[in-house]
Amino acid sequence: MNNRQSLPQSAKNNESDVIHRASVIGYAVMRELHRVLADPQYPDDVTLGLLMGMTMFLDDKIGPIRCSHLMAQAPGIVLKADAYVAEPQVAHYASMLEAFGEHLIDAAQGRLRLGN
């Protein structure tokens, strides 16, 4: 039996809310990063880079064993749950993330001074 099965219903709902919120925000951030980094000459390279970055982040935060397990389970979870993020869910975060994206573009093009 896993930890989730032994939780009371209110804790399961709270865990589900946290997972849902994190997935919507994560999707919105990745979408904005993809927009900023997109290169029409290399369309798959940005996607691969984002996937590699997410993997490195997970490896750093939770370790290689748990990261490997989560990454192996992810496609099945997405397909099983027919997971997607609807546009109204992203709209809540869009303006902030678009502003963040514009700052990234400015920084990459040398129009924004970073640091001291």
Domain span at residue 103 reads 3-108
In 1-116, which ranges are continuous DSSP H helix? 9-37, 43-62, 64-81, 87-108
Tally of domains in the chain: 1
35 within a domain of the structure (yes/no):
yes
31 exposed, middle or buried (CB, 10 Å; 0-12, 13-18, 19+)?
Answer: middle
Q: How far apart are CA 93 and CA 12, in angstroms?
A: 25
Residue 50 burial (CB count, 10 A): 16
In a domain, 115, yes or no: no
Q: Which residue has the tokens 């709270």?
A: 14
Confidence (pLDDT) at 45 = 92
DSSP assigned state of 4: G
| Per-residue pLDDT of the chain in tens (116 residues, 90 and over written 9) | 444 455 555 555 666 778 788 888 888 888 888 888 888 898 899 889 988 888 888 889 889 888 888 878 877 766 666 666 778 878 888 888 888 888 888 877 776 665 65
